[in-house]
Amino acid sequence: MVLKPTQAGLQRAAKLLRSGAVVAFPTDTVYGLGASFDDEVARKRIYQIKGRPVGMPLILMVAAESQLEGLVHVDSRAEAMIRKWWPGPLTLVLYAIGGGTLGVRIPKHKVALGLLRHSGPLMTTSANLHGREPAMNAEEAAALSGVMAVLDGGAAPGGTASTVLDLTGPEPHVLREGAIPTPELLGPPPPHAG
């Protein structure tokens, strides 16, 4: 089912998510798959749809930093990155409250933000079969078997996945080079001695 990103369409998609469905939607990078943050069965369904290895984590998307309260520890280093890059194509890996780590981001896309405001936090990943190119439009996302609905926001504007920055160690560490180049994020590397 393809939904238009009207208020009614966003509400319908959010209702489906709350009922345990997996919904595809556009972001500022590529089309993504979303499942309710607190629905373990729906999260497992994402892995099944993609054929994704279970050890590969999903990313938590929220509409506002306030939605991260009680989920992750946001220190001053994370706060500085959030102020500079969010909303945008930067995923921050932070310590989760209750143990472990969690990648989090706020996308810079009005349809994604509209959905997240209605649905609450979503666990997400790109809309594609594991190892294949991500979906760039609603038709490609709708071709994935098991997706209950797709919000059609036109072509995704980015085409490159988010940059993933791990802030859980002593130094920031880029886990995946993406839409924001590392030098732009962390500054140029130091010159080699000698």
Residues 54-85 pLDDT 10s = 889 999 999 999 999 999 999 999 999 999 99
Strands 163-166 and 101-105, sheet pairing: unpaired
Per-position b or e across 47-71, b if 16+ CB within 10 A of its CB: bebbebeeeeebbbbbbebebbeeb
* Average confidence (pLDDT) over 5-32: 97
Question: How much is the pLDDT for 158?
Answer: 80
Question: How much is the pLDDT for 151?
Answer: 98
Question: How much is the pLDDT for 181?
Answer: 93
Amino acid at 140: E
Question: How much is the pLDDT for 160?
Answer: 87
Position 193 pLDDT exceeds 70: no
Look up the CATH number of domain 2-172.
Answer: 3.90.870.10
> What average pLDDT does the chain have?
94
CB 62 within 8 Å of CB 87: no
Q: How confident is the model at residue 192 (pLDDT cuts 50, 70, 90)?
A: low
Position 188 pLDDT exceeds 80: no
Q: How confident is the model at residue 189 (pLDDT cuts 50, 70, 90)?
A: low
In the chain, domain spans? 2-172
Question: How much is the pLDDT for 100?
Answer: 95
CB 178 within 8 Å of CB 160: yes
Position 191 pLDDT exceeds 80: no
Three-point CA angle 50, 158, 116, nearest 5° = 65
CB 17 within 8 Å of CB 122: yes
CA distance 55 to 39: 18
Position 90 pLDDT exceeds 60: yes
Q: How confident is the model at residue 17 (pLDDT cuts 50, 70, 90)?
A: very high
